[in-house]
Structure 1
Amino acid sequence: MDVATTHYPVAHRYTRLDARAVADARLVLCDLDGCLIAQGRPFAETAEFVAACGDRLWIVSNASDSTARAMSRQLAGFGIAVPAARILLAGETMLEHLAHVEGIRRARVFASAALIARAVELGIDPAADAPQAVLLCRDAGVTVETMGPILTQVGQGAPLWVSNEDLSHPGHDTQPVAETGALLAALRAIQPELEWRSLGKPDPMMLTMALTRSGVSAQDAVFVGDNVLTDGAAAAALNMPFVHIQRSIIQ
């Protein structure tokens, strides 16, 4: 059974980015890891695709180890121009939600140095002794030694927020690169009844933010992603056309 075409509105399936697939869209929302870049490097066709899309392109990604400003600078270093104002990343988006909507000021943030610095900018203490929330992002510092303390803090009443539920994304060699969802799966293996909240895809919140800020309707946009279970589901929630970039046989 073809999972992508059976459950989600897949416009086309490609093994690489192709500007012809999005030529008629007024707005092109594109995932980052596995689509535009992998392991910190762009794919061979990324610069050409981004240039062809021009101002129509927004990055809407479950990435949770960088900020929009840092990602814009990183891409610029490869000759790829996407301003920070058109980049939405799950980790940073969740921090902003916690600060501005949930009113969180004390947290335990398990994340990269860049996101910990962003938490401080937003007025969140990322290493509070009595946290109001625990935030889990893609963090190489989370190991079997830190999983116990994370679960203890959650067990003491601090709600768990997870940047995204992706298990992996394809690397340049098509092999899977572990994502935040793999850390969540490990925590759930220890505590199967674990509860959490995530604003990353498949939640359509970031897609809705891009539509609102751009003033384009979902029907006039297209979402380009590598994961039908997260990218495809987010697009389906808004009845938005979906282009599946399937670089790896492992999805």
Structure 2
Amino acid sequence: MSTHHTTTGTLNAGAVHALAQARHLLVDLDGTLVRQQEAIDGAARLLAHFHDRYAIVSNNSTHTAQGLSVRLRKLGLRVPPERIVLAGELAVRQLAQQHPQARVLLAASAALQRYARAQGCRLVSAEAEADIVLLALDMHFSHTRLSVIANALRRGARLMVTNADATHPGPHGRVVPETGALLAAVVAASGVQPWCVVGKPAPLLFEEGLRRLGAHAGRTVVVGDNPLTDGEGAARLGLACVLVGESPGAVAPTVAGLLVQPVSEAVEPAPQYRLSDSTSKVWRSVRTEVS
């Protein structure tokens, strides 16, 4: 059990000040608001308190915002799709807008594949046809799929990845393998490093969240559970960050602990991620913006 967070009800002064001054929140999803098929204690109350002044900013590359909004509603979290920013959707939009003629080999969920087609992406299945491989969280990833992707990259296709998280937190202390675990296999098989990683800690998701809220960085706080993605990403943009969970620097076990201390009246009411050794090297060697 980590001892890095403070006792419930006694948030450190920095966290209290940041939340008291916050006009807007950018909130992580997995490990912060939800843990697989359950909402985390305090999640609904935190979102209700900030009402229309928050956006969820997540490395999720399985769902679309529309589908995730429906899923969250079933867990008691009412979040409109326009306030959900996802790495998978953002990666697809970047490709569609900046590389409209590229032939894309997409390893992803059926929902993200449908979204990519709707955005006008030219999806291909043969390794010889691919200009770009976009790797997302593909629950049906297989040896055959790995072979096709590795050989497409060896033939000269560029590798774009939604995020490099190796895992995200599951229930009962379990971990759920993430896109970064697939990335480790792809890099090992192909010898090719990513040309672009879209998700946190890269700035694109945070910037999109700020844009949708019309928010100013100086009055916006990031709430997350992962210092490698939420914490580092916030720091890159000069955003304050409050961490929850069991990570070093966490101020409370869950977001429920953020609500114990009263937030300033000036504000209108309203288990860990990790990067594998191989994928953590990605952050030191690749560009984090599509060019």
- What TM-score comes out, normalization by structure 1 length? 0.87
User: For structure 2, which runs of at least 5 residues remain unmatched after alignment?
Assistant: 247-270, 275-291
Deviation at 1:35, TM superposition (A): 1.0
The 3-state SS of whatever aligns with 1:82 is: coil
AA partner of residue 32 (structure 1)? L
Aligned to 1:36: 33
Q: What is residue 8 of structure 1 aligned with on the other side?
A: none
Residues 101-180 of structure 1: pairs in structure 2 closer than 5 A: 101-129=98-126, 130-180=129-179
The answer to which of 103-112 and 163-172 deviates more is: 103-112
For the residue of structure 1 that corresponds to 2:173, the secondary structure is coil
The structural deviation recorded for 1:161 is: 0.8
| Runs of 4+ residues over 6 Å off in structure 1 | 12-15, 18-21
Q: 1:14 to 1:178 in 2, by over 3 A?
A: farther
- The answer to which of 131-140 and 184-193 deviates more is 184-193
Aligned to 1:87: 84
Deviation per CA, 1:118-165, whole angstroms, max 9, x where unpaired?
011011233344122111101111123321211101111211110001
- Are the structure 2 counterparts of residues 183 and 121 from structure 1 closer, same or farther at C-alpha, using a change threshold of 3 Å? same
Tell me, what secondary structure is at the counterpart of 2:146? helix
Name the aligned partner's letter for residue 93 of structure 2. E
Match 2:59 to one of 56, 62, 71: 62
Separation (CA, whole Å) in 2 of partners of 1:38 and 1:104: 38
Q: State the match for 2:253 in structure 1.
A: none
178 and 112 in structure 1: CA distance in 2 versus 1, 3 angstrom threshold? same
1 CA distance for matches of 2:239 and 2:30?
20
One-letter identity of the residue aligned with 2:193:
L
Shift of 1:104: 4.2
Does structure 1 conserve the Cα–Cα contact (< 8 Å) formed by 2:55 and 2:213? no
More displaced stretch, 216-225 vs 88-97: 216-225
Which one has a bigger Cα radius of gyration? Answer: 2
Secondary structure of 1:55 counterpart = coil
User: Is the CA contact 2:100–2:120 (under 8 Å) kept in the aligned structure 1?
Assistant: no
Q: Match for residue 220 of structure 1?
A: 219
| Length, aligned pairs only | 240
Three-state SS of the structure 1 residue aligned to 2:172 is: coil
Cα distance in 2, alignment partners of residues 90 and 81 from structure 1: 20
* 2:89 counterpart SS class: helix
Q: Which letter maps to 1:63?
A: N
- Percent of pairs with identical residues: 38
State the one-letter code of the partner of 1:231.
D
1:231 Cα deviation after fit: 1.4
In structure 1, stretches of 5+ residues that fail to align are 5-11
For residue 24 of structure 1, what is the aligned residue in structure 2? 21
- Structure 1 vs Structure 2 CA RMSD: 2.5
Q: Distance in 2 between matches of 1:55 and 1:158?
A: 41
